[in-house]
Amino acid sequence: MSEQPILFDEIEATGGKRVGRVTLNNPDALNALTLEMIEPLYKQLTTWDADTEIACIVLQANGERAFCAGSNIVALYNGMTGQGDPDYPQRFLTLEYRLCHAIHRLTTPCLAWGDGLVIGAGMGLFSGASHRVVTARSALAMPEIKIGLFPDCGATWHFNRMPPRLGLFVALTGARLNAEDALVCGLADRAIAHEAKDDVVAALTRVDDWSQPHAAVSRVLRHMSREQPATLAPSKLLAHSTTIREATDAATLAGIVSGIRRLTGSDDPWLAESAANLAGGCPVTAHLIHRQLGGGRYLSLKQAVMRELKMALQCCRHPDFAEGVRALLIDKDREPHWHFESVAEVPADYVDAHFRAPWDGDHPLKDLPDVKP
């Protein structure tokens, strides 16, 4: 197997068409994204999208544990703390957000095969695809509350399209969603047995009518989901939806946090773990998420991504993000010392600062197109 962290190939299909295939190939690091992976991926996707002979794009990963477990956060940490290139965070995050925005806007059907962990930036890749497949092993989450960041890579967009208050709960707690959860809340489209992946790709190469490419891919996935369905556990999100709505039914962030934290005593391990993530998470992140989703409900995808870049780069300049990464991934003591001890202690102007541009001049993503072609 190639040692390249990302692989590209093309498969011949009927009618002179081709299927473009991307394989994330860094399984030892759970296929976490690096700048060396993002740059060629963005270039290849835009090249394929402009090629009328590419009928479909398949986005998959090697390894049995993860589709993509996020970004290489340690490289960001090194840039933030002076141990690496200080310009790296802005270069990496700008291109990462540009990539996630581009996946949403592909005119070519894009099938993302989300087997295993789909975490953080992996959610950014997965959620932007036009056709999103989960398997029995899929586990989706954006647990940035644990590291002092916030759900990014377009999360403003997809969390605001989940059922009311469920998106806020998932964002604040970093709750891990199973495949059925993803289907219930609209983060995935089909569930298919992972063993059928090669059969799905083969079926795509045999499509005899690509006049309506999105419909053609949908037909293949509909058939395969019936012929080789994934065996899924019940949805925790659905089972506890009433509890979640009640816990988040408050007029203030402090009230919402208090309601969720009471669930740490739940008899259900999923609810208790989710609530504990918030209880031990970054108080500033809780404020960022609350404002991010509340104020981002009616933003376009472009506006949402541009706003998230401001927030992310400000997190790189403020202390909690580096401290969260230190505690989880560097020293691994899992005892972060947050800048404020509670949500109630965080001043409004401190939160405000995270929504201001940290650069002079034009926004680095100003040129993003705003309407899907």
SS (H, E, C) 150-195: CCCCCHHHHHCCCCCCHHHHHHHHCCCEEHHHHHHCCCCCEEECHH
Residue 2 has a pLDDT of 72
pLDDT value, residue 235: 98
Tokens found for residue 263: 């669930």
Whether the pLDDT of residue 181 is over 80: the answer is yes
pLDDT for res 372: 63
- On the question of pLDDT at 371 being above 90, the answer is no
Residue 47 binned pLDDT confidence (cut-offs 50, 70, 90): very high
Q: How many residues does the chain have?
A: 373
Average pLDDT over residues 353-367: 96
pLDDT digits (tens, 9 = 90+) for 108-117: 999 999 999 9
- Asked if pLDDT for residue 1 goes beyond 70, the answer is no
| Angle, helices 73-80/301-317, rounded to nearest 10 degrees | 50
Q: How much is the pLDDT for 3?
A: 87
Two tokens, residue 198: 């090669």
Distance CA(169)–CA(166), nearest Å, equals 5
Start-end of H helices in the chain: 35-49, 73-80, 88-104, 121-128, 155-159, 166-173, 179-184, 197-205, 213-227, 236-239, 241-247, 253-261, 269-279, 283-294, 301-317, 319-325, 348-353
Sorted by sequence, the CB contacts under 8 Å of residue 175 that are 6+ apart come out as 141, 169, 236, 237, 270, 273, 274, 277
Q: What is the reported pLDDT for 46? A: 97
Stretch 265-275: mean pLDDT: 97
Cα–Cα distance measured from residue 142 to residue 293, given in angstroms and rounded to the nearest whole number: 14
The predicted-structure confidence for 334-345, as pLDDT tens digits, reads as follows 999 999 999 999
Domain ranges of the chain: 6-353
Q: What is the pLDDT of residue 164?
A: 84
Q: Are 180 and 234 in contact (CB under 8 A)?
A: yes
Please report, for residues 11, 214, 218, the alpha-carbon distance to residue 208 in angstroms, rounded to integers and kept in the order given: 15, 13, 14
pLDDT tens digits for 110-150?
Answer: 999 999 999 999 999 999 999 999 999 999 999 999 999 99
Residues 222-268 pLDDT 10s: 999 999 999 999 999 999 999 999 999 999 999 999 999 999 999 99
Provide mean pLDDT across the span 4-13.
98
Cβ partners under 8 Å of residue 77, min gap 6: 83, 322, 325, 326, 329, 330
Task: Name which of 156, 109, 152, 155 is nearest 133 in CA terms.
Answer: 109
Distance in angstroms (rounded) separating the CA atoms of residues 155 and 264:
25
Fold of 6-353: 2-enoyl-CoA Hydratase; Chain A, domain 1 (3.90.226)
Query: Which of 52, 178, 4, 23 minimizes the C-alpha distance to 111?
Result: 23
Integer CA distances (angstroms), 274 to 62, 165, 252, in order: 29, 15, 20
Instruction: Give the global pTM.
Output: 0.96
